[in-house]
Amino acid sequence: MPGFADRLNGIGISASAAMTDKATALKAEGLKIVSLSSGEPDFPTPTHVVDAAIAAARGGDTKYPPQDGKPALKRAVQGKFQRENHLDYALDEILVANGAKQIIYDAMMATINPGDEVVLPTPYWISYADIARLGGASIVQVPCLAANNFKLSAADLDAAITPRTKWLVLNFPSNPTGACCPRKDMEEIAAVLLKHPHVWILTDDIYEHLIYDDFQFCTLAEVEPRLKDRVLTVNGVSKSYAMTGWRVGFCGGPRNLIAAMNNMQGQSTSGINTIAQAAAVAALEGPQDFLRERAAEYQARRDLVVSLLNAIPGIQCHTPQGAFYVYPDISACIGKTSAEGRHIGNDTDFVMALLEEQQVASVQGAAYGMSPFFRISYATDTATLREGCRRIAAFVSGLK
């Protein structure tokens, strides 16, 4: 049988997707699964966004689009960056792609060579590491400890950068921890990066509008303009606007990097769905007040989940300031045996036993580079969250 590319060695389906698929399969068997594994808003896509897509389809906007995005959407992205982030990008410094994930893929594939290093504050979103490895890079982890609210230390970052460092990836608010970066901390990170002019920086701001407790969001190129010619500012409409299935991501960055990424995109997907682009224009240029309303709902869910989890002996849960995840510490559960006799040797054992015995789907911390933790998404309704936490409590109480 013909073989497969070596670059796929060690690359698998993401743990969150795998757990969601397993939960779906168990549901099909008739089990009542509480799914807390998927980072997907349960709110509907706003009506005016859907209406714009329908109008575009009926109006004949169904031909091949420009490879880097339609002018109307690039202008909408340009306006968003100016309005919300105080960043000025020319239209040829903006790229539109099939979700923020393709933006990240385009960037790394256009720049990484074998032997390069990608620095990842840890825990990190699963795909950063796998995409970097596909390009031949090595991963350098910078642990962001729970004791420091999973924040990145500028000193630790400085120590991790070497002459082989090609990229640093910053993700605030963070998936999986919900950690945010105050402006003072961002200024300290920027000061480190000014010392290392050979490093590209990718800022994944996809959870920008999901922030709580009056936290003030900032992004690196805004905080330190001297870094702007090395920063790729990545965002999209999936999380804030509940448009995960529309697959629209965008970025602003230096012209030469955007051109290289556009070249890469041209050899993979070319331009993205025209109907989705029309919807994204409506999202970015339409009413924005509902974003605050939805963030308030997420904050209420966060408070509920943190309270319920911290009431469970054996679980310690921090209070995140953004995104819609919690990342509880389950150190006290490791080494025990479940009610049905499963040994809990690590956080992967924990989440698999939790799924099989209590039918709660979550994701192990090992997938994000830091154990023993597990990730729960609270992007679902209150009744589901209460039931999920009740089942988690029952599972943990059964450990011996």
- Residue-wise pLDDT for 78-88, tens only, equals 999 999 999 99
* Tokens read off for 80: 């968003």
* Tokens read off for 169: 């990836």
Given this model, what pLDDT does residue 22 score? Answer: 80
* Tokens read off for 15: 């743990």
Which domains does the chain carry? Answer: 6-44+290-397 (3.90.1150.10), 47-285 (3.40.640.10)
Report yes or no: 295 and 210 within 8 Å, Cβ to Cβ: yes
Considering only residues 16 and 352, tell me which one the structure prediction assigns the higher pLDDT: 352
Number of helices (H), then strands (E), belonging to the chain: the values are: 13, 12
Q: Residue 6's pLDDT band (boundaries 50, 70, 90)?
A: confident
Q: Give percent of the chain above pLDDT 90.
A: 92
Report yes or no: 152 and 177 within 8 Å, Cβ to Cβ: no
For 120-158, how does the pLDDT look when each residue is reduced to its tens digit (9 = 90+)? 999 999 999 999 999 999 999 999 999 999 999 999 999
Facing residues of 202 across strands? 169, 232
DSSP string across 222-282? HH-GGGGGGEEEEEESTTTTT-GGG--EEEE--HHHHHHHHHHHHTTT-S--HHHHHHHHH
For 196-228, how does the pLDDT look when each residue is reduced to its tens digit (9 = 90+)? 999 999 999 999 999 999 999 999 999 999 999
User: What is the C-alpha to C-alpha distance for residues 213 and 226, in angstroms, rounded to an integer?
Assistant: 30
Q: What is the maximum span of the chain, computed from C-alpha positions, in angstroms?
A: 64
Given this model, what pLDDT does residue 259 score? Answer: 98
